[in-house]
Structure 1
Amino acid sequence: MENEKMKWNTPEDLEELLCEVVGWDSRTGTEGEIEFATKVLKKILEMQYFQENSSHIHFHDAGKGRSAVTAYYDSGVTNKTIVLISHFDTVHTEEFGGGLEELAFQPKALTEELKKRKDDLPEDVQIDLDTDDYLFGRGTMDMKMGLVLHLHLLEKASIEKWPINLLLLTVPDEEVNSSGMRAAVKGLINLRKEYGLEYQLFLNSEPSFSQKPQDANYYIYSGTIGKIMPSALFYGRETHAGEPLSGITGHYMASYLTKAMEFNPHFVEEEYGEKTPLPICLQEIDLKEDYSAQTSHHTAALYNVFLMRQNADDIMTIFKHTAITSMAECTNDYKKICEREGVTPIGEIRVLEYTELLEYAVRKMGSNGVEKLIESVMADESLDERKLSMQITDNLMLRCQELAPATVLFYAPPYYPAINSSDNELVQKKIALTQKLLKEEFNVEATQVHYFNGISDLSYVNYNPTDTGWQSFKNNTPVWGDTYSIPFKEMQQLQSPVLNIGPFGKDAHKLTERLHKESAFKYTPFVLAKVIESMFVGSYIQ
């Protein structure tokens, strides 16, 4: 391969490759997402190494016709391997509107069109358009440039015969449920066994995200923040609107827990001087289907909680305490109203974990009865994992109404465990090297962030091998084992540090999503190559 010429080496080459890959529309849940794996396979096969070693390319079933793709470069001299992780799905493009949606996947054409319309855009976007330093388009920043960088590294390694192995992994569905990465975990374990690999580092190239509005700093990440969704079904007692105190509405109950959950400081963690954002309610849904004078007695709410060191069991403990306190307040206020109106209250509000409700239902209905109930809900293909979780819990309560009024606590997907390698010596050296190279070569200051604040697929590797708190998530997730699961035991076998070095960009998931061209096509490819070379070339080791 000495005579092979690199196709994706210069800034111009990388920009053209990015524009091509962005042009492959791969919005989550579309046919384009399904087809992307075959397109990237063909692109990988443009490298001579993979033409000669096509058996080193594997597809990993991620469900719904989608596949994660791995491509393994074998140096032939070591088992030490770096895993390059990216995702290829993008969020949707409805916000483009106004004749721009057809240009969403054409970065150069979109950038030129936005220049014509810049007076309608925010001031910071106008400034960036005037500089011509940015390339706009869906997926330019988040995160097809990461995949392009990894293709560049794979090609460079195969032609220059780097004495270290690279395993490119690119996955679908990071933006919704991370189905691709969860499926790929077992693939990583199987490939490690098949080729006798020793994973040294999981290297992601998600973009450098702003920490706050108008933030233009460049960040390197030594971990990724976690996210979990403690949720609740509020099952009251129905009544006629003319006799409101003969029952209690789900909305009334929900208002107490939502007030207690939103901005609750007891869920906030602080590590390395960084804090998790406050929790908030992402969605509250009335499960009463039709309008009538009957009150709505069943409502569900999903709450967003970010994590650093805590696990699912820790969060459920705080959540349950919060729910018990807020439902006691709700009960007390309701009783006072009933007393004022001369009405007998319907009783105390119970607080149950989903696993407790499930055990009760099994005792009442039998295992087969519960299984059939869950299967009947699962048969509705119009419902996503969150709606399925609500409906399963609601249907169980329908069969166990003697427990009402009750608030049932459960987990709804997705769950992203927090992962951190800030104290790892290898990661510390690579961050110091990255900062040194960026400063010396490009006069760019780079800051270490301990937890990537954009959620990433790194959540599914390097999971704490002694943690058992994930069992609380398994036990309290109604769709566990059917449409959603997390391979925690396999994740615990992938004990290698994580690092994220990616290009700088702005406005992910917005019409004005854009990528800084010099960062993407000059700084980051140079730095990534040097970081990997430092794993085998002594002159670069700091």
Structure 2
Amino acid sequence: MGAIKQWNPKERVREFSLRLVEWASETGTPGEAAFAPKLAGLLREIPYFRDHPDQIRLVDSHGDPMTKSVVAVVRGRGSRTLALAGHYDVVSVANYRELASLAFKPDELLAALMADLESRRLNAAEQRALDDFRTGDFLPGRGLLDMKSGIAAAIAVLAAFAEDPDRQGNLVLVATPDEERNSRGMRSLRDALPVIATDFGLDIAAGINLDATSDQGDGTEGRAIYRGTIGKALPFGLVIGHSSHAGYPFEGISAQLIASEVTKAIEGNPALCDTSDGEISPPPICLECKDLRGGYEVTTPERVWIAFNWLSHRWGPRDLLDRFARAVGQAMEDAIGRFNEHARAYAALLGMPQSAPAASGEVITIEELRTRLRLIGGDVALARIGALESRLRDCDDPLMLTRTIVNAMVTEAGVIGPAVIVGLSSLLYPSVRLGLGDEHRAFAEAVESARLAFEAAGGSPVKYREYFTGISDMSFFGHRPAVDDSSFVADNTPASALVDTVRQDVLSFPVVNIGPWGREYHQRLERVHVPYAFDELPRLLREIVSCVLA
């Protein structure tokens, strides 16, 4: 610990952070595509990599222009290896508005934001930001918090590790694109990692994801080691009603009515929260609700699309979709039952016989819909759906992509309402967490030893949290999902482009998340807590490297 205690990373991490932020890398832009070679150039300024240029690799990821991941390896004695991982893409700078040209210049942006905030009446969030900036402990900039300061801390640790002539084991840094959309960077890197490990003779024992977290307090919650990350799914329902003229409402049933009942049953419902290890996931919430008609009609809508963001801890995709389907089915039954009650009451008012009641509905999974489509239209119908998806291959909106495909499948299969088609409309992010196996336990013990040593040397208290609450690459880093889960997801995801196809030779190892903290990431006032990100975080990481590789 002596060398680490005397190590002063602050200026170096600050320099690395500002250089990384200066290179604009919004997801899906040429700047993102140009970032990896620039990062490789920065790494080659480190003496170790000047002497070992072959230990930096660029790995193809995706896109047009092509993006790449960066892999940098510092070799020591033995094969035992720790991997540090971070993403370098950032969200759009549009919300900086008139200050967008300064978004990648933290010092200039700080001065401009303070001048703006000091010139006008502020809301509570803005006043909090101004107070933060006045302390000198917070620095703004697009991607500085999320998460280039994390990568900068890792680069400083990598350089310090390389300077130790007696280093044990190996340290790897991986920096990937596209975390902000579909984690295609990490998923392609995951697939390439077995070959890289073999080429360099590495046995990757564990990994640390370096993503950022938010803390609206004094940093007590932000200075954290996350044992796992939350899972995310986007279940959808394509509601199919039976249209009726507005003057004769009870001759059919509106898809809008059923959709509203489904939304009421699911939106923010605490009964649908997942719980694990004393933590409770946020409840599901509706991200999209659309009437699929193309124009004005004096009829009730036949098809309405709804999609929900659903976060989980323990539940796998089968558990989650089953709960969703049951909630949808009950809501549809309630909507139809109440609609028929209204029909009876209206008929009594008129003194006329009731028209035929609305029929009971059915819930149909995408797997079941495909089977119907095959039976009715055969391979020709399936081919038409495949051709439609091919035409939509450049679509970056998973909800629009899925909605278009499912709507076409319903038409091809001739589904008559009332019914709700259910499935998954985005890439599934698995929930992952440290397990109970020997490798996981040994890694957890090494991390705890490092945490105690860091605090004993004067570091701020660092707490454990069970689940990182943001969607992150941690769902794919070191994680090999169960084959049964992968098959179920593929069967119930209409767009094949949104299915994570996992090779069975991918490496599996325990991972935690330890990164910078700050406030309002992705927002105009995104800011990182400088003392922790530039000084304490790299010290903690270096101590963990020492304990894991000892």
Q: Same fold (TM over 0.5)?
A: yes
CA distance in 2, matches of 1:148, 1:258: 43
CA contact (8 A) 1:378 1:388 kept: no
* Residues in 2 aligned to 1:30 and 1:249: alpha-carbon distance in whole angstroms: 42
- Check whether the contact 1:354–1:476 (CA below 8 A) recurs between aligned residues: yes
Label 1:19 to 1:466 Cα distance change in 2 as closer, same or farther (>3 A): closer
Q: Does 2:357 match 1:345? A: yes
2:250 is equivalent to residue 245 of structure 1: yes
RMSD, aligned α-carbons: 2.2
Q: Summarize deviations over 1:388-445 as a string: whole Å, max 9, x none.
A: 1111111111223343221000101132111111653234324423432443334511
Residue in structure 2 matched with residue 373 of structure 1 by the alignment: 385
Per-residue CA deviations over 1:227-261 (Å, capped at 9, x if unaligned) read 11111111222333333333333221111111111
Residue 323 of structure 2: aligned partner = 318
Match of 1:452?
468
- How much has 1:346 moved relative to structure 2? 4.3
AA aligned opposite 1:363: L
Instruction: Confirm or deny that 1:151 pairs with 2:150.
Output: no
**How do residues 44-443 of structure 1 correspond to structure 2 at under 5 angstroms?**
44-56=43-55, 57-75=57-75, 77-97=77-97, 99-119=98-118, 120=122, 122-161=126-165, 162-210=167-215, 213-214=216-217, 216-217=219-220, 218-341=223-346, 342-380=354-392, 381-382=394-395, 384-421=397-434, 423=436, 424-443=440-459
Contact 1:208 1:220 in 2 (8 A): no
Task: Tell me the CA shift for residue 382 of structure 1.
Answer: 4.7
Does the residue aligned with 1:295 lie in a helix, a strand or coil?
coil
- Residue aligning to 1:486: 500
Q: Please tell me whether the aligned partners of residues 443 and 548 of structure 2 are also in contact (alpha carbons under 8 angstroms).
A: no
Counterparts of 2:407 and 2:457, CA distance in 1 = 59
Report the CA distance shift for 1:256/1:250 in structure 2 as closer, same or farther (over 3 A).
Answer: same
Name which of structure 1's ranges 399-408 and 199-208 shifts more when overlaid on structure 2: 399-408
Which amino acid in 2 is paired with 1:396?
M
- Any idea what SS the aligned residue of 1:396 has? helix
- Code of the aligned partner of 1:205: L
Q: Is the 8 A contact 2:520 2:527 kept in 1?
A: yes
Contact 1:350-1:407 within 8 A present in 2 as well: yes
Whether the 8 Å CA contact 1:60–1:187 is kept in 2: the answer is: no
- Measure, in 2, the Cα distance between the counterparts of 1:484 and 1:21: 30
Contact 1:410 1:477 in 2 (8 A): yes
Cross-structure match for 2:34: 35
Shift of residue 208 of structure 1?
3.7
Query: Hey, what's the Cα distance between the residues in 1 that align with 2:503 and 2:270?
Result: 31
Counterparts in 2 of 1:443 and 1:146: CA distance versus 1, 3 Å: closer
Deviation at residue 44 of structure 1 after TM alignment: 2.2
Q: How many Å separate the matches in 2 of 1:469 and 1:267?
A: 20
Cα distance in structure 2, aligned partners of 1:350 and 1:477: 19
Residues 182 and 487 in structure 1, CA contact (< 8 A), matched pair in contact too? no
Amino acid at match of 1:95: N
Compared CA separation, residues 383 and 82, structure 1 to 2 (3 A): closer
Out of 529, 533, 539, the position equivalent to 1:526 is 539
> What's the TM-score, normalizing by structure 1?
0.91
- The residue number in structure 1 matching 2:351 is none
Corresponding residue number in structure 1 for 2:4: none
2:349 corresponds to: none
The Cα offsets for residues 74-117 of structure 1, whole Å up to 9 and x where unpaired, read as 525311111111001111122222x2111111111111112212
CA distance in 2, matches of 1:519, 1:263: 34
Shift of 1:379: 0.9
Distance 1:138 1:434, change over 3 A: farther
For residues 64 and 249 of structure 1, what CA distance do their matches in structure 2 show?
43
Aligned sequence identity (%): 27
Shift of 1:268: 1.9
Unaligned runs of 5+ in 2: 1-6, 347-353
2:360 aligned partner, one-letter code: E
**Alignment partner of 1:513 is 2:490:** no
CA distance in 2, matches of 1:16, 1:74: 21
- The aligned residue for residue 5 of structure 1 is none
Equivalent residue pairs, number:
524
Provide the C-alpha distance between the structure 2 equivalents of 1:276 and 1:219, rounded to a whole number of angstroms. 18
Whole-Å Cα distance in 1 between the matches of residues 454 and 134 of structure 2? 25
Check 1:401–1:471 CA distance in 2 against 1; reply closer, same or farther (3 A cut): same
Question: Can you list the C-alpha shifts for 1:103-145, whole angstroms capped at 9, x where unaligned?
Answer: 1111111111122123436232122111111111110110011
Distance 1:460 1:101 in 2: 32
CA contact (8 A) 2:276 2:313 kept: yes
Q: What code does the residue aligned with 1:89 have?
A: D
Q: Evaluate the alpha carbon distance shift between residue 383 and residue 48 of structure 1 in structure 2; reply closer, same or farther with a 3 A threshold.
A: closer
Q: Quick one: which amino acid aligns to residue 448 of structure 1?
A: Y
Q: CA deviation at 1:215?
A: 5.7
Q: Paired residue for 1:26?
A: 25
Q: What is the aligned partner in structure 1 of residue 548 from structure 2? A: 535
Greater Cα offset, 46-55 or 23-32: 46-55
Q: Give the conservation status (yes or no) of the 8 Å contact 1:286–1:299.
A: yes
